[in-house]
Amino acid sequence: MTVRRDFKEPARCRPDLVIGREELFTAAREQLGRGGSVLLHGPAGIGKSTVLRALAGEYGGAARTVLRCSPTESESHLPFLALADLLGLVLDEVSERLPAAQRTALESALTGRGESTLQRDGLALRLAVLSALRALAATGPVLVVADDLQWLDPASAELLGFAARRLGDTPVRMLFAVRTEGQEYDRHLRASPPDTLAVRLGPLSRAQLSALLDHRGYTGLPRSTVRDIHRTSGGNALFALELARALAENPTPPRPGEPLPVPTSLRALVLNRLEMLSEEARRTLLVASAGARPTVALLHAAGRDNAEAETAQAAALGLLATEPEGPAVRFAHPMVSAALYAEAPAQERRAAHAALSTAASDPIERARHLALATHGTDPEVAARLAEAAALARDRGAPSVAAQLGLLAARHTPADSEPSPEVVRLTAAEDAITAGELDLARDIAREVLSRTTVPEDRVRAWIIVIDTAGHAMTEVDAIFPQALADAGDDPRLLALVHYQLTWRALLVEGDFDEARGEAAYAAELAGRAGDRYTELMALAFQAQIETLMGHADAPATIRRALEEPQDPRVACHHNGAGYSRFRWLIMSDQLAEARATVTALLREVRRRGSVESEVHFLRGVAETELHSGHCGRALDLARESLRLARDTGIGEVASAVLTSLAEAAGGEVDRALALAREAVEHAEEDGDQMYVSRALAALGHAQLVAGDVEAAVVSLRRVREVEQGLGITDPARGRWHGDLAEALVRSGEIAEAQDVIDVTREVAVRLDRESVLAVLDRAEALLRAARGERDAAVAQLTSAQDRLGNLGYSLEEARAAFALAQLRTRTPGPTSYDEAARLFRRCRALPWLRQVEAAAAARPVGAAAAPTVSPPSGPDGLDGLAALDGLASMERQVAALVMEGATNREIAARLFISVKTVEATLTRVYRKLGIRSRVDIVRLAAGRRTT
């Protein structure tokens, strides 16, 4: 199994040992950094001790003295034991600084010599502990660390609490961890200072748990197994790691529908109260643990006549959670149910399932229980399971359908029709729909090892190829085998050639070949009467033609939408509906595009198609981003990325879109980190399509960050890659305006003009109005750099109006920002008001911060334009003759230095980074033969006198 590659948030200080606790760890760290104290609390095994150790390790080095104790339940009755652990090693250091009475009481309590008690020496002992901590803090900060505070002996807890409440500003920090259920931690605060921050550690999410398992070496677990571990453990880190260890040590994985094996260590931990149950109550709980949604009524129907009394007995022992407002029987923790089931003999489990196979009201549940109660093959059981799988599929539960299909295959006789292998392949296809790619790939490879039937083998090869996603280089060797198995059957050949379309696109980067393969696949499928594959191939052909700017794209979309339609294609992420959405959004029909993709998203959620859901979430987010709804776009993009991470589907694409959304409405650092990871993974996969998309996102984020030179490098690579691929439609990636703008700001005027002219020619031919308006915005900046201020203002004004009318609110705001930097009519910060208003309306926070910085840095009365027009007349030419050899950006920076602007002010006025200003000045110094900005000022002053 390959290690899952998650796209992560930007690298922050995150110790490996606190995976999934970053925000809590940061809050606790900041509290300790302010000199405060922290109380970590949560249930057993949740990770309190791990976080406590990480915090203590980070702050222990800054403290002169670290006092530690880890009380245990068996020793909690011994008075002063925890206090002895804390102060025993430093007693000699502080005893001489204590008053005699306090010293005597403390030594007696800590050493056991004498009979010191709180009743007899209470005040002296309390003051002694306080004085000891103050004495230690007088020579440097003190950190008190106590784990398992719930086992602190009462005497130590009382003394520690007395001191903590009176330390005041004394540099003593306390870091405690305590086991609690729910929110009941208040009583433990009595041993802590008054300003202690209470931090509750809750369950880990599935993604966090997956990262933890990866870190601990459990990298080969299928996603479906990680899901089961998360559900069984309830997100508890200790329970999850123990379950993963048991799976790794168990040579036989659990059968479909069966719970995970529970190691003895966890059974003892969660079932220590089981022995107090009556035998009948234990059997009732076993039936409840075998059921999906147990209720008292279900237990009655399963033959447990005394269910009320027996569940009440279990609830009193803490095995069940009380449900006063409903009939559900809910275990106190999922591990209780799993351990109870694992502890039961196999015969008793089958009996419980047999009872539930007639008691359950849902046909899917009845079929599942019947399968788990039955040994060997049984045609009737297999048929019922197949019916249940179809029902689950219709309900939008493909994961359940896959599990039922595997159960059906296990009970299907070898000579049945359909065969066990066909049933397995259907289950694998359901697993793909559910986003469980590891499971689907394992099933397909198992079928390939068993069958020689060409149709089954081709179908299995297609599943293996599908599970590779965009990493098609990993399955490149499969295509000759699949073609050989397909023979001359047009239906099987159509399936393989449809996949060869993807190979041509992703591996070869050849759009003409991909278009030809798609057309051939559609022809073969039409000849074979396979309408599903024909429609899928036509839809993919339409998408390729759209990217190529091919004139046949609208006609191919119409062919893909012709009747008869297959309902599976209508809402598929590679179907005609999505092809139409891409055409609409590239044609500036934002409202219709939003309505189309929103309807598609609603339908795939109903069907439970995870892969299509990831795609359509990105589609809605993209539409909102173009419309300038940056907050909504960011939420949707992050949701898409979370789902992509969880399933391993479309991670690169979701990271790219989330990077763009972060650059528009979130954090630029996150945008940069996500884009860089997307570039790295796309290059690893050999996916040139997404190499260009990821580089475009990276270049955009770099431009927003003000790193113009880096943006030029990234976007030049995009241009090179897309020219090689044959992508001509500028509405596909919309990076052309960014490249032209970055080139202008870096002084590459001629190249910027070439980008604008070449892109404009294609955009005019394809009627891409928004692209043309963005190009006009970039060209206005170019004209301003040439000194054509009036023409630049007029062109920017026109571009802003057109973008606003088309509904591209964020691009409209960017035009207003550029216009504010060029206008001279209203000098000072107020000239940025319109841009700030538009960015605020979009919730474009990174851009809004740039507007505010530019307005604040601009001196009142200074010229608005970030350009320097060459002076006219013989005197002017003589005065600035040395600047003629400089590029445009270099002249602008030099002129602003002459005006006395700082590097930060220059960066704000020219919309570039301070780093770029510094690099530009270095080139200016070299070209002018000078050494510093002071020489530029002197040079200017001398020329003004001539």
**First-last CA distance in the chain:** 76
Give the per-residue pLDDT at 120.
61
For residue 14, pLDDT beyond 60: no
Q: Which residue would you say has higher pLDDT here, 726 or 711?
A: 711
Q: pLDDT confidence of 888, banded at 50, 70, 90?
A: low
User: Which residue would you say has higher pLDDT here, 246 or 697?
Assistant: 697
Nearest to 149 by CA among 179, 186, 185, 181: 179
Contact 507, 473 (CB under 8 A): yes
Q: What is the DSSP string of 776-839?
A: HHHHHHHHHHTT-HHHHHHHHHHHHHHHHHHT-HHHHHHHHHHHHHH--SS-SGGGGHHHHHHH
Q: Is 782 exposed, middle or buried (0-12, 13-18, 19+ CB in 10 A)?
A: buried
Q: Is 219 helix (H, G, I), strand (E, B) or coil?
A: coil
- pLDDT tens by residue, 333-377: 888 888 888 888 889 999 999 999 999 988 999 999 999 999 889
Crossing angle (nearest 10°) for helices 379-394 and 398-411: 170
Which pLDDT band holds residue 832 (cuts at 50, 70, 90)? confident
Supply the mean pLDDT for the chain. 84
Sign of CA pseudo-dihedral 278, 281, 287, 288: negative
**489 secondary structure, DSSP code:** -
Tokens 């009193």 sit at which residue?
316
Is residue 564 reached through a cis peptide bond, with omega within 30 degrees of 0 on the bond before it? yes
Maximum C-alpha span of the chain = 110
What value does the mean pLDDT take over residues 41-53? 86
Contacts of 938 (CB under 8 A, 6+ apart): none
Contacts of 835 (CB under 8 A, 6+ apart): 813, 816, 817, 819, 820, 851
Quote the CA–CA distance of 553 and 556 in Å, as a whole number.
5
- Cα–Cα nearest to 258, from 202, 323, 138, 338: 338
Q: Per-residue pLDDT tens for 272-304?
A: 777 788 889 999 999 998 988 888 899 999 999
Question: What string of H, E and C letters represents the secondary structure of 630-683?
Answer: HHHHHHHHHHHHHHHHHHCCCHHHHHHHHHHHHHHHCCHHHHHHHHHHHHHHHH
**In contact, 180 and 201? CB cutoff 8 Å:** no
Q: Read off the pLDDT of each residue in 727-739 and give the average, rounded to a whole number.
A: 92
According to the model, what pLDDT value does residue 919 have? 77
Dist CA 275 CA 272 (whole Å): 7
The stretch 563-587 carries a mean pLDDT of 87
pLDDT tens string 895-906: 777 766 778 777
The angle formed by the CA atoms of residues 940, 944 and 946, to the nearest 5 degrees, is: 120
What are the tens digits of pLDDT across the range 213-229? 888 888 767 777 888 88
- Judge whether 486 and 454 are in contact, CB under 8 Å: yes
Q: What is the pTM of this model?
A: 0.65
Does residue 257 register a pLDDT over 90? no
- Express each pLDDT in 154-183 by its tens digit: 888 888 888 888 888 899 999 999 888 755
